[in-house]
Amino acid sequence: MGGLFKKIFSKGTLKLLAALSIPTCLIYFWYYSNEQARIEMESYQKEQKANPMQDKVTIENYELKEVDDGNHVRWQLVADLGTMHAATKDVNLEKVKVEYFDGPKLKMRLRAPFGLANESTRKVRLDADKQARVIAEGEEGKGRMEASKVELTKKNQFEATGGVNIDMPGVAKVTGNHALGEFGKGGIQKLRIIGNTHSVVSM
């Protein structure tokens, strides 16, 4: 019996068992690590589903602006509330005001109940609701525009859609479905009205 015990637990056998135990342990730890990673991923996905707002940041008195090469403000946007989506840099806006400047002088002001801005592209969209439309007003009576939606791009350009009404005092009153133009020193400039247009020319 003692001889059999010695044979089973001889140095050679112990070395073999030790050698075999190394890959066995490695395989165990590999499976254990994979299982832990799977559990953590499932936990993270459940947390994301339970709390979808985690990838969003809400800011009161949100501000966004664009400056020219001389560091002068071209336009500035202010909203009572801005909810930014971290992945896309899109910001959902509530109670929005946008102001356009000519140097230090304010030349155009827009307001809307809702909007969407992108912090990377600086593109802005202003949206109406049932109670209020998107309104753009020039300083010193240099024009007024109402629409359901107004999209603002760089270089002061705009695109207005949805029951567009434009009043340029002393020039004309125009209504249409779609308008393109820009906000310049003289208010609304380079204006094009597209689709079902009606106008009254002031004399």
pLDDT tens-place string over residues 74-114: 899 999 999 999 888 999 999 999 999 888 888 899 999 99
Closest Cα partner for 114 from 84, 80, 90? 80
Residue 176 CB contacts under 8 Å (≥ 6 apart), including other chains: 164, 193, 194, 195, 196, 197, 198
Give me the count of residues in the chain. Answer: 203
The pLDDT of residue 187: 76
pLDDT tens-place string over residues 23-48: 565 565 556 555 665 666 566 556 55
Q: What is the DSSP string of 77-107?
A: EEEEEEEEETTT-EEEEEEEEEEEEETTEEE
Q: Is 160 exposed, middle or buried (0-12, 13-18, 19+ CB in 10 A)?
A: buried
Residue 136: how many other CB atoms lie within 10 Å: 25
**120 vs 88: CA distance, rounded Å:** 9
| Position 128 pLDDT exceeds 90 | yes
